Structure 1
Amino acid sequence: MSGEQSGLPRLPTAAETAAPADAVDVIAEDLRRRFDATRVSFLIVDLTGKAVARLSTAAAESERETERIPLFGSVYEKVIRTQRLYQEATGQGQRVISPVTNRGDAIGLLELLLPTAPGEDVLDEVGEAAHILAYVVIANGRFTDLYTWGKRSRPPTLAAEIQYQLLPPALSCEAAQFTLCGNLVPSEDLSGDSFDYSLDRDTLHVSVTDPMGPWCPPVAVGTCW
């Protein structure tokens, strides 16, 4: 099994040379070759938080698949909830799943099927590659609807779609000083409610708004240092 840590920093450059919709495919294929993997997949978390969608697959047989997998009770839910790398032996090889997360924003999962049990050095590289993948998805999401489409298992109403455009780009933010997370429910059919946040050097500002009913004023959550 191969894998040189010095090669991982080249992943963002490789993704940048590809079309935005193909950036994750390029990363998956690079990792497949790097780790001699049978298959490498990227799964994105659905907007509802109830499923993941397999958006990209690099396989030795050039296999590609698009599927949505229920999250509750699955190993994918465990990895997202614990934010820890998961490894198990299967009849097809060693299955490794790593969270793709940026500052607490759970974007998705990186799944690899390896021919043999990986060492700690390879597992560390898989975790680092998943971290790089998070930045690749965030950067390329500005130029393609692929990731937006992947998050929608059910088409949202027009009002809900407009409302999501008013939300912060990341619904979660994790730092050494605080952790913040918000969501709108039900995800496919909503209007009016909104929240936002902004971080200064020493203050976290949070606002929650309900224009259809009582209005909640903006709140400045003191100093967070």
Structure 2
Amino acid sequence: MPTTPATGLDVGTLLDRIEGTAPIQAVEAAAEALAGMTGARELTFLIADFSGRAVVRLTSTASRTEGARTQEGAHAETVTLHGTVYERVLRTQEVDVQALADGARLTVPVTDRGDAIGLLELVLPTHPSARVIADIAGAAHALAYVVIAARRYTDVFEWGQRTTPFSLAAEIQRRLLPAAYTCEAGQFTLAGWLEPAASVGGDTFDYTLNRDSLHVSITDAVGHEVDAALLATLFVGGLRNARRKGLDLGAQARYANDALADNAPAGQFVTGQLVRIDLATRTAAVVNAGHPFPFRLRHGRAEEIELGIEPPFGVVPRKSFRLQRLSLDPGDRIVLLTDGMQERNAGSLDVAAALVATQDLHPREVVHELGAAVMHATGGDLRDDATMVCLDWYGGPQRRTDSENGADAALASAARPGVADPPGR
């Protein structure tokens, strides 16, 4: 007789099971422990691919399948997202429960602060109660922390997420991007995305959250390939160094500008916008160095935010950049972008209309939709990197994260087959 999964699944016990395991074994150890605690017949972890259009099932080579990639004992099977339950769960962050003749299949988001790391798929011997589904959703959230910790020590997760090989320029560019592309943090939710051109164009985005401030940047280095990637590295390194010295926004801009002027070849420059939001006063300032205007979606209407234009970084040594006020009201959506979104062969893309059409989506999905839109507009012939950052500003008290909402949705309604109720953003 099949056993019914016990309620009150202990996440602490789950984490204890992986203590002492090697980092490369931590995720599999957590999966095995969870399978034992739930009575699951099958349990697999799928990590989100860097393309945003697939997930990758990571296992040992002992379970290899035809057409999958293998490397040093690791096995990666790529699954295209379009039209699948995996796509639906990643996009909605809702637990999917599919009734089987002899149990149920659950597909559960593995997410931390809105950053969709992957999915947990398991087959249970009986249809689970709402309590069990909520417990498994909580365990999947804990698994996100296991993945975050483990991937600091190994290339396996990074390798698995690359369904196409990276060039040297792309490898350099990848190191400049934040570890998590999405952050839910109470007063705001932020997400970024980079659609790379066939010839890497030197785009970057970055953010950091301090106790009283949020810093966001989007930049575009002149040129292509390794030269552009190295120029971007110099600028982003200067900007991060200035920020970590505790310099204010104006001083950060001057410091990074001089890093280029003093160290880059003549004629090299970087366009960009630097934003600092004071979370206590709920005010924002922006530096605009020769960069395309951002957009604001407010009350269902999207329009460009016209800013004063100053020279790109690296053009005028020892320059002091003007701080401009960035108006923020609760409910605003701010989108920063690079000129790859406005290339001549992307002329059919109306960014403002696209923002209105996606206004009900999470920022994580907005940047994916914009990336897909520019690829469609260019027929896949993207001649420059297209990068975007979407910031939803709430301005008030702490908001709940996807994982918290998803767990409650599972508890409230996942006793029935099908998809759990939406988290109610």
Same fold per TM (> 0.5)? yes
Q: Does 1:128 align with 2:131?
A: no
- After TM superposition, give the deviation of residue 113 of structure 1 in Å: 0.5
Q: Tell me the equivalent position of 1:137.
A: 147
- After TM superposition, give the deviation of residue 185 of structure 1 in Å: 0.6
Q: Does 1:46 align with 2:49?
A: yes
Judge conservation of contact 1:154–1:188 (CA < 8 Å) in 2: no
Judge conservation of contact 2:102–2:126 (CA < 8 Å) in 1: no
- Deviations, residues 31-52 of structure 1 (Å, cap 9, x unaligned): 1111111101100000001110
- After TM superposition, give the deviation of residue 222 of structure 1 in Å: 4.3
Q: Tell me the equivalent position of 1:193.
A: 203
Judge conservation of contact 1:43–1:56 (CA < 8 Å) in 2: no
- After TM superposition, give the deviation of residue 10 of structure 1 in Å: 2.0
Q: 1:164 and 1:92 mapped to 2: Cα distance?
A: 44
Q: 1:115 and 1:207 mapped to 2: Cα distance?
A: 49
Q: Does 1:154 align with 2:179?
A: no
Q: Tell me the equivalent position of 1:221.
A: 277
State the superposition RMSD in angstroms. 2.1
Q: Tell me the equivalent position of 2:258.
A: none
Judge conservation of contact 1:24–1:56 (CA < 8 Å) in 2: no
Q: Does 1:26 align with 2:32?
A: no
- Deviations, residues 101-152 of structure 1 (Å, cap 9, x unaligned): 0001100001111111001111011101100000000001101111111111
Change (3 A) 1:108 1:123: same
Judge conservation of contact 1:40–1:113 (CA < 8 Å) in 2: yes
- After TM superposition, give the deviation of residue 175 of structure 1 in Å: 1.6
Judge conservation of contact 1:168–1:197 (CA < 8 Å) in 2: yes
Q: Tell me the equivalent position of 1:70.
A: 80
Question: Residue 147 of structure 2: SS of its match in structure 1?
Answer: helix
Task: Tell me which moved more, 13-22 or 167-176.
Answer: 13-22
Q: 2:197 and 2:132 mapped to 1: Cα distance?
A: 37
Judge conservation of contact 1:160–1:187 (CA < 8 Å) in 2: no
Change (3 A) 1:222 1:194: same
- After TM superposition, give the deviation of residue 188 of structure 1 in Å: 7.5
Judge conservation of contact 2:105–2:123 (CA < 8 Å) in 1: yes
Q: Which amino acid aligns with 2:210?
A: D
The answer for unaligned runs of 5 or more in structure 2 is 66-75, 224-269, 283-394, 396-425
Q: Name the % identity.
A: 47
Higher relative contact order by CA 8 Å / sep ≥ 6: 1 or 2? 2
Question: Residue 16 of structure 1: SS of its match in structure 2?
Answer: coil
Q: Which amino acid aligns with 1:124?
A: A
Q: 2:99 and 2:7 mapped to 1: Cα distance?
A: 23
Q: Tell me the equivalent position of 1:113.
A: 123
- After TM superposition, give the deviation of residue 95 of structure 1 in Å: 0.5
Q: 1:6 and 1:107 mapped to 2: Cα distance?
A: 22
Q: Tell me the equivalent position of 2:180.
A: 170
Q: 1:189 and 1:129 mapped to 2: Cα distance?
A: 41
Judge conservation of contact 1:160–1:191 (CA < 8 Å) in 2: no
Judge conservation of contact 2:94–2:109 (CA < 8 Å) in 1: yes
Question: Residue 80 of structure 1: SS of its match in structure 2?
Answer: helix
Q: 1:115 and 1:147 mapped to 2: Cα distance?
A: 30
Q: 1:4 and 1:117 mapped to 2: Cα distance?
A: 13
Q: Which amino acid aligns with 2:160?
A: G
Judge conservation of contact 2:7–2:131 (CA < 8 Å) in 1: no
- Deviations, residues 181-225 of structure 1 (Å, cap 9, x unaligned): 111112885241111111122321111111117601312134354
Q: 1:187 and 1:91 mapped to 2: Cα distance?
A: 47
Q: TM-score, normalised by structure 1?
A: 0.90
Greater Cα radius of gyration, structure 1 or 2? 2
Q: Which residue of 197, 205, 224 maps to 2:215?
A: 205
- Report how many aligned residue pairs link the two structures: 221
